[in-house]
A and B are shown apart, each in its own frame.
Chain A
């Protein structure tokens, strides 16, 4: 099946640091990539939808200046959490999509802000 690689898998950093998370679709070209956030024992919440070469579409309540998304190619999207604070600590998951295929998910990135 399709493989989506997410890096890093775990990040621990100090408050105020900016953190970049990469999402790569390794064996197919994804027209769209999605970024989700998952709190402990809760479901996935869609943060934003990213199409290659265009601006990301953010869900209501998600700060676009806090969570910067860049989708430079059909195989790579990045999420940068800017000036992270403890409340940004969470599990971030990306997925890659192309028409007529279901979404394929990455392993997720656990972000811990001290």
Chain B
């Protein structure tokens, strides 16, 4: 069975501090990992996916198959980064998504 775990429900940091949102997964096949973000009163949006290996809004995430992790990182948090972040595991050619429990990031001024 596939599972995504985000151990932190809430992460609070000061502006300018580094941020790491943890995500661990379990999946027997070849995983496709995503990070989605949901800003207050807005829809869920794709932030980044591991196959793109790109940086969006200063965020990066590296797939570590040995540790089965896909942690989201940003070196300097901004107040506008405050949102709910969901890690998701795609299976069936990325068709089916299994979401983690989500982490609320609060960036304080």
Contact = CB atoms under 8 A, between A and B. Distances in A.
Interface in A68-114: 93, 95, 97, 99, 102-108
For this complex, into which size category does the number of interface residues on chain A fall?
20 to 34
Contacts of A93: 44
A75 B99 CA distance: 24
Given A97-B95, A102-B94, A43 B43 contact: no
B46 A46 contact: no
Contacts of B34: 102
B43 A107 contact: yes
B45 interface: yes
A34 interface: yes
A46 B97 contact: yes
Contacts of B49: 102
Nearest to B9: A41
For this complex, into which size category does the number of interface residues on chain B fall?
10 to 19
Contacts of A99: 93
Interface SS of chain A = strand
A32 interface: yes
B98 interface: yes
Contacts of B45: 105
A42 interface: yes
Contacts of A107: 42-43
Given A43-B86, A44-B86, A105 B43 contact: yes
B94 A44 contact: no
Interface of B: 34, 36, 42-46, 49, 86, 93-102
> When A and B form their complex, which 3 residue pairs have the shortest distance between CB atoms, in order from nearest?
A105-B44, A43-B101, A107-B43
